[in-house]
Each structure stands twice: as C-alpha cells, then as structure tokens.
Amino acid sequence: MMNFSRAVCSTMTVMMCLMVAGCSNQPLATSAAHLPSRAPDARSKKTYQDLIVGYVQLGAESEWRTANTDSVKEAAAQLGVELRFSDAQQKQENQISAIRALIAQQVDVIGVAPLIETGWDDVFKEAQDAGIPIILVDRRADVSPSLYVTLMGSDFLEEGRNAARIMSTLTDGHANIVELQGTRGSAPANDRYAGFREVLKDYPGMKIIDSEDGNFTVAKGKEVMRAFLKAHGKNITALFAHNDDMALGAIKAIEEYGLRPGVDIQIVSVDATRGAFEAMIAGKLNATVECNPLLGPDFLELALKVVNGESIPKWIPSQESQFFASQGADQLKQILATRKY
C-alpha cells in the first residue's frame, strides 16, 4: 500500500512536471524539481547500499542482450545495490507486469529496456504517480519526456547511417542489398532502418532489394537469409543486418547456399560482439558498427543521482566505434582480447 508521504510527493511531482512542461518546450535535463521520488536533503543523501533498483530486461535474444544483463548484475553486486531483475522473454506484457510488481514493492528506481517503442504511457504514469522514477536503458520509448528521467543508450539512427556509409565504401556505391531488420517496432530497428536509407539516398547505385524482420536472433537471421537467397540468389551482393547475431545466422545460410560471406556478399552489421570479431577475423563479416551494452555501472550511478535529486541530462548517448575485417586478423585479435563481450 502506498504510504502518505509518497502519495503527497507523487501529487506534487505531477504538478511540478506540468509546471516544468508549461515553462519550457526543451526537456533537455531533468532537475531535482522534476523528480518524483523522495529526493532527500543533504543530511540524508542515499548511498549505493541504500538503493533498491528494479531492472526490467526485455529478454535474452542476442549476445548484446546477455552482455547488458551481465553488466547490470555485476555492477549491482560490486556496488552493493539491491537489484530486482526480471527477464520479460520478448513480451511487452511481461515487462508491464514486472514494472507494476516493482511499483508495488516501492523500489527506489526502475530501469527499463523497452522491447518496442509504443504502449508505455499508462504504466510509466503509474510509476510516476507512485513517486518512482523510470530510467530508460538502451532503448527509447515513445512517451512524453515527463514520464521518464533520462534515456541512456546508443544513437541508433547514426548507427544505421554509419552502416550505410561503410557499405558504400565496401561496394564502391553499387550493390543489391538485402536487409535483416531487428524486432519490429523496436527503437533500434526503426532507427537503423531509417538511418541506413537516409544515407543511401546519395547512392543511386545501391538498392535495397529485400528487407524483412529477423527479430535480432541468430535463428531468424539464418531463416530469413535463406529465404532471401531462394528469392534472389546470386543477385544479392550485400547484406545489412541490424545486429551481429542475425549476421552470424545469415553467414551460415550463405555458406549453405554455396556462396562466400564477406566475399560474394559484403556484410555489415551492428553491435561489435565477440561473435562478430571472430567472423571478421575469419573474413566472413566485413564490418560491424559498435553498440555498447555495458551500461550497468552508469545506470546505477544515474539511479543514485536521481534519488539524491541531482540534475541529469535527458539523453546520455554511448560512446561507440566501428570495426572492419580490413584491419586484419592480428589487430582484431588484439582488440578482442580487451573486450568484455
């Protein structure tokens, strides 16, 4: 049951949010005044050991996702944060139920990696009304900025643009491209799709001849690539996969079809996982655009700042790089040795 002070706090918060929204149309930073929760005064600042944090993970569909889960769990264990973790197994309804359970438990902060962009308004409003801040981790949700404190994660649009730029260099501006999209309706799939096309407009010789949902998994990537090959055969000269897992599945399909991945079909994907490095070292993947899953420490630092009423930017983008088979096996092996995922 919600206690009195939390209920009062929540009502005040809603009012404050409305005031903030009324004063400015630039929701760039979340200030202490915007925060719903029990922002303590200087004498009672919380520490990591005081925190109870929920993390609503969307599933375990990819190597990236597993690394993200590990990062959050490891950081919580190291810092002494009490973590209440749930895995929604690729179902938005499971994520919504998990958020409601965390609200009932009156945790301090809830981190959410939203499966898809839409459908979050009601449950985020419930969290806000209960005085519990939401931090979006990894993926955007299509809600009013007043319903979450901050988004930490990658610039997916730029990842899509970078994939297209790399592809244009690899193919000298001439390609028949097939595309494996990530989970339909998810922020990374939407943005990588859009960013890729934005850059391709400048390359009339590069055509997307087919594009399907591969759900960010190895198995689906392989299945859809097999169908692409059946439909288009040797006409396919390039593949853009929205993540490495789908690219790895597609590589198997290409080999089974009798073509050489990375040679007959140029392949660019996203994430820069261990599997992608191994494929580049083997010459089967041409390039990968990094998407950093190691968000655990920063997430918990933000959670602590939020409960202590500190001001936080509305978006905290990840710093990311790109890697190429053309760097050579030796260099790639050295880089891989320094990476956690």
- Residue 171: which of 87, 237, 115 has the closest Cα? 237
Nearer to ligand AHR (CB atom), residue 37 or residue 71: 71
Using rule CB under 6 A, residue 64 touches ligand AHR = yes
- Residue 104: which of 230, 6, 28, 210 has the closest Cα? 6
Among the listed residues 270, 287, 289, 302, the single contact to ligand AHR using CB under 6 A: 270
CA–CA distance, 270 with 301 (Å, rounded to integer):
27
Among the listed residues 108, 138, 179, 213, the single contact to ligand AHR using CB under 6 A: 138
- Token pair listed for 261: 């991945």
Shortest separation between residue 272's beta carbon and ligand AHR, angstroms? 10
Shortest separation between residue 87's beta carbon and ligand AHR, angstroms? 13
Using rule CB under 6 A, residue 216 touches ligand AHR = yes
DSSP letters, 14-50, are: HHHHHHHHHH-S---EE-GGG--S----GGG---GGG
Among the listed residues 30, 57, 61, 265, the single contact to ligand AHR using CB under 6 A: 61
Look up tokens 């749930």; give the residue. Answer: 86
As a whole number of Å, the CA-based R_g of the chain is: 22
Taking residues 224 to 243 in sequence order and writing x for each that binds ligand AHR by CB under 6 A, - otherwise, the string is -------------------x
Shortest separation between residue 7's beta carbon and ligand AHR, angstroms? 35
144 contacts: CB under 8 Å, gap ≥ 6: 21, 121
Question: Looking at 14-22, 60-68, 161-169, 203-211, which segment touches ligand AHR (CB under 6 A)?
Answer: 60-68
Is the CB of residue 58 less than 8 Å from the CB of residue 328? Answer: no
Shortest separation between residue 62's beta carbon and ligand AHR, angstroms? 4
Question: Looking at 58-66, 76-84, 170-178, 295-303, which segment touches ligand AHR (CB under 6 A)?
Answer: 58-66
Nearer to ligand AHR (CB atom), residue 217 or residue 286: 217
Shortest separation between residue 121's beta carbon and ligand AHR, angstroms? 21
Using rule CB under 6 A, residue 120 touches ligand AHR = no
Taking residues 166 to 205 in sequence order and writing x for each that binds ligand AHR by CB under 6 A, - otherwise, the string is ----------------------x-----------------
CA–CA distance, 327 with 290 (Å, rounded to integer):
15
Nearer to ligand AHR (CB atom), residue 61 or residue 108: 61
Look up tokens 């993200």; give the residue. Answer: 68
Nearer to ligand AHR (CB atom), residue 64 or residue 148: 64
| φ, ψ dihedrals at 317, nearest 5° | -75, 145
- Token pair listed for 5: 């002070």
Is the CB of residue 234 less than 8 Å from the CB of residue 257? Answer: no
Is the CB of residue 81 less than 8 Å from the CB of residue 51? Answer: yes
DSSP letters, 124-191, are: HHHHHHTT--EEEESS--SS-GGG-SEEEE--HHHHHHHHHHHHHHHHTT-EEEEEEE-STT-HHHHH
- Binding-residue total with ligand AHR (CB under 6 A): 13
Using rule CB under 6 A, residue 291 touches ligand AHR = yes
Shortest separation between residue 245's beta carbon and ligand AHR, angstroms? 6
Question: Looking at 56-64, 73-81, 127-135, 203-211, which segment touches ligand AHR (CB under 6 A)?
Answer: 56-64
Using rule CB under 6 A, residue 117 touches ligand AHR = no
Cα 306 to its chain centre, rounded Å, is 21
The gap between the terminal CA atoms of the chain, to the nearest Å, is 41
Using rule CB under 6 A, residue 62 touches ligand AHR = yes
Query: Which spans of this chain sit near ligand AHR (rule: CB under 6 A)?
Result: 61-62, 64-65, 138-139, 188, 216, 243, 245, 270-271, 291
